[in-house]
Amino acid sequence: MNVRHAGIGMTSQRTRSRMIERLRTQGIQDEVVLEAMTAVPRHIFVDEALASRAYDDVSLPIGHAQTISQPYIVARMIEMLRNGKQLNRVLEVGTGCGYQAAVLGQVAREVYSVERIQPLFKRATDSLKELKARNVILSYADGTMGRPEIAPFDGIIMAAAALHVPQALLEQLAIGGRMVLPLGAREQFLTLIERDEKGFHESRLEAVKFVPILTGKA
């Protein structure tokens, strides 16, 4: 067993199971998402000093003024993205520590994740390599530009709050696809964008709190 996996020892699976039961009580119903959350060891994506809190329903700092989202938000966003259907090609904007990308890798055939902060990109690359997540491809770039050379995506998920939906991402969403992202400044709301032959349809979901989206590379 890898030394990082040993951090929580015998309690790791038990604490993960408690997290799953809590997600059920919070309203997460998609069994595919719950299985994915069970499969991914969240503690390897946080600093060793915070490993004992890895399965609590809280966001945790990962450095560089960024956070790993609380498990409920990760599950909720992916459940909305899936909508009970198989995901083929997914784009994630804001890899962070790589945890959400790893969960997405369990539910989608291909995941392309973009991170603008180089140390986080490297850390996520190492963690995903450790998990052998071969269907998750990371890139160090400005995520608001997406990956036009790989588009269209049937799912796009954004892990930072924007004031408006980046036009480049709208253009890369396939017809029949879904995008889930936080929108707003002081008040933020989880937002679902659906695209059909007639255009884009926006639905506002629950209030959330995310770090703001930034452009360029750091």
Per-residue pLDDT at 214:
84
Q: Cis (ω within 30 of 0) for the bond into 152?
A: yes
50 falls within a domain:
no
Q: pTM of the prediction?
A: 0.92
Going by pLDDT thresholds of 50, 70 and 90, the confidence category of residue 89 is very high
Q: What is the mean pLDDT of residues 77-101?
A: 97
| H-type alpha helices, the chain | 11-25, 31-39, 71-82, 99-107, 118-130, 167-172
87 falls within a domain:
yes
pLDDT tens digits for range 145-204: 999 999 999 999 999 999 999 999 999 999 999 999 999 988 999 999 999 999 999 999
25 falls within a domain:
no
The yes-or-no answer on residue 69 being catalytic is yes
Q: How many distinct structural domains can be found in the chain?
A: 1
124 falls within a domain:
yes
213 falls within a domain:
no
Per-residue pLDDT at 72:
97
Q: What is the mean pLDDT of residues 89-94?
A: 97
Cα 56 versus chain centre, distance: 17
* Residue 176 structural domain: 61-208
Per-residue pLDDT at 212:
87
202 falls within a domain:
yes
Crossing angle between the packed helical segments 31-39 and 71-82, to the nearest 10 degrees: 140
pLDDT tens digits for range 19-57: 999 999 999 999 999 999 999 999 999 988 888 899 999
Percent pLDDT > 90 in the chain is 82
Per-residue pLDDT at 52:
85
Q: How much is the CA Rg of the chain, to the nearest whole Å?
A: 16
10 falls within a domain:
no
Per-residue pLDDT at 213:
87
Q: What is the CATH number of the domain that holds 189?
A: 3.40.50.150
Which is catalytic among the residues 12, 69, 113, 127?
A: 69
Amino acid 22 reads: R
128 falls within a domain:
yes
Percent pLDDT > 70 in the chain is 95
In contact, 115 and 140? CB cutoff 8 Å: yes
- Kindly give, in sequence order, each residue whose CB lies less than 8 Å from that of residue 121, ignoring residues fewer than 6 positions away: 95, 115, 138, 140
